[in-house]
Amino acid sequence: MTTIRFPTAPSPGSVLGAAPHVTESADAYRATGGYADATGPDELLHRLAASGLRGRGGAGFPAAVKLRAVRERGGVPVVVANGEEGEPGSVKDRWLLRARPHLVLDGLVRAASVTGAVRGYVYLSDPEAGARVRRALAEREPHLPIEVVETAHTYVAGEESAVVRRIDGGPALPTAKPPRPFERGVGGAPTLVSNVETLARIALIAARPDLRDRIARATLVTLSGGRGAPVLTEVPYGVPLRTLAAAHGTPDAAGALMGGLFGGLLDARALDLPLDPDALAAAGTALGCGAIRFLAAGACPVSTAADAVGHLAAESARQCGVCVSGTAAIRDAVHALCAGTAAPDTLAHLDRWSRGLPGRGACGLLDAAAGTAGSLLLAFPDLVRSHLGGPCPGCIAAFATAPPAGGHGRRLAVAVPEVADAASSRTPLPALKGTP
C-alpha cells in the first residue's frame, strides 16, 4: 500500500495539506484561504513569473510563460486541468484529485482569470477522482463553467494534444505538432493544458504570496522500488537523491529509474545529484512527473529496463510506424539481454536506436524507450555486457513472479494512497525521516 508522509510536519503552503488522507471539503479549503479574491490576474502572473514555478506534468516548462502564451494568443481561451496520470510509477495527480479537488479547481479558475478563458475542463481517467471532483463542483459552483471529461487510462492519453483530441470528441491519441494547444486547442481555441499539481501550486501562491518561493520550489514525489513500500511525499528542490533513497528504506540503492519512465536509469554514484530540474537535466536525466523507482542492492537494472521498455512498447498508440517498430525492437533486444540470448551486435543496435530514434514520433513515448535503453548502456556498461554471456540470475529472479510478456505494468505500478470521505478518520501521519 502507498503511504503519505510529511517530510517533517504539516506546514502552510504544502500541497499535501493538513490531512492528506481525507477529501477536503469546500468549507475546510476556504478556512485555509482558498477561493479568496484578493489577487488579480496580472498580479498573479507576476508572482508566478517571479517564483519560477515550473509545470509538474513532466516537461517542467515555466508556468508563467505557458499562461502568457495562451493569454496573448487572442480569441477566447480554454483551460484544462490535466489529471490523466500515464506513468505507472506516479500517483500524485490521482491523489490530488481525490484528496484536494478544491485546491485544483481553485488553480484552474485562477488560470482562467489570467488567460481570459471562459470555460474549463478537468480531464482524468480515475473514476474515483472524477466522482470527488464532481462533488466538489456541486459543493461550490465556480463562476467558470467546468466540465469533467473522463478517458481510458493509457500512457499517451495525458499528452496535451491527446487531451485536446479527446475533449473534442475524438480518441485520446497524440497529434502532429504544430499547431500546439496554446495555438489551436479545444474547439480551435487557444488552450492551456496544465497538470493538476501545477494548478494546485498556482492556487497556493495566490493564497500565500509570502510563501511563493517555497511553494514553487517544492514538489510531490512518488518513491517506490528498492526495499521500502511506496511513498507519496513533498520535498523541496535540492534534497539529494541518496537522502530520499535512505528515507524510503533503501539506503544502499544501486541506482534509480527517474521521472517515471522518461528520465532513464542512474547508477549509485548519480544518487548524489540534488532533486533539482536544472541539475538533473545537466546530468542527462529528468525529474519528470516526480516518480522515482530505486534499485535495491543486488537487483539487476537490465530487468528494470526490460519492464520499462516492455510497458512502453505495449502502450504505443500505434499511430507512428517508427514508434511501433522502434519500441518493439528495443523491447526485444533488452528482453534478449535478460534471457541471455542476445546476439553480439545487440548492444550496438541499442546504442544506435538510443541516438537515432528520439524526436521521430508524435509524442514522447518513443523518446522514453530510446532514452531508457541509452541510459542503461551509459550507467551500467560492464553489467550490460556481462548479459551477453548467458542468462542473468538477477533477471531470472525478477521475472519469476511475472513473465516479461505481461508483468511490466504490475511490477512498475504504484497504488494510489487511500483517501477517505469521512473527516472522522483523521489520524496522525508519520514523518519521512531523513529529509529536511
H helix intervals, 25-100? 26-31, 41-51, 63-71, 92-99
Boundary (domain end) residue, out of 214, 241, 273? 214
Does residue 228 lie within any of the structural domains?
no
Do 71 and 187 share a domain, yes or no? Answer: yes
* Residue 57 sits in the same domain as residue 174: yes
My answer on whether 162 and 56 are in the same domain is: yes
Residue 4 lies in a domain: no
- C-alpha 224/C-alpha 294 separation (Å) is 6
Model pTM greater than 0.85? Answer: yes
Residue 395: the pLDDT is 86
| Domain containing residue 397 | 301-412
pLDDT tier at 396 (50, 70, 90 boundaries)?
A: confident
Q: Rounded to the nearest 5°, which phi and psi values hold at 219? A: -150, 150
Whats the size of the chain, residue-wise? Answer: 436
Number of structural domains in the chain = 2
* 209 plus 331 within the same structural domain: no
pLDDT value of position 7:
66
* CA–CA separation, 32 and 18 (whole Å): 10
Final residue of a domain: which of 182, 214, 246?
Answer: 214
Among the listed residues 40, 70, 67, 43, the one whose alpha carbon sits nearest the alpha carbon of residue 55: 67
| C-alpha cell recorded at residue 56 | 509538474
386 falls within a domain: yes
Peptide bond between residue 391 and the one before it cis (omega within 30 degrees of 0):
no
Q: Which residue is it, cell 538510443?
A: 354
Taking the CA atoms of 258, 262, 265 and 271 in sequence, report the sign of the dihedral they define: negative
What is the distance, to the nearest Å, from the Cα of residue 11 to the centroid of all Cα atoms in its chain? 23
Clarify whether residues 42 and 185 are in a common domain: yes
For residues 24 and 99, give the distance between their C-alpha atoms in angstroms, rounded to a whole number: 6
Lowest-confidence range among 244-258, 345-359, 386-400, 415-429? Answer: 415-429
Convert the pLDDT of each residue in 273-298 to its tens digit.
999 999 999 999 999 999 999 999 98
Say whether pLDDT at 428 is over 50: no
**Is residue 227 one of the residues assigned to a domain?**
no
Q: Is residue 417 part of a domain?
A: no
Residue 421 has pLDDT above 60, yes or no: yes
Whether residue 405 is predicted with pLDDT greater than 70 in this model: the reply is: no
CATH number at residue 29: 3.40.50.11540
Q: Which residues contact 378 (CB under 8 A, 6 or more apart)?
A: 284
Mean pLDDT of the 21-49 span:
93
> Cα–Cα distance between 99 and 407 in angstroms, integer?
30
101 Rama sector, left if φ>0, alpha if ψ -120 to 50, beta otherwise: alpha
Stretch 39-56: mean pLDDT, rounded? Answer: 95
Is residue 256 in a domain? no
pLDDT higher than threshold 50 for residue 429: no
CATH number at residue 327: 1.20.1440
Query: pLDDT category, 4, cuts 50, 70, 90?
Result: confident
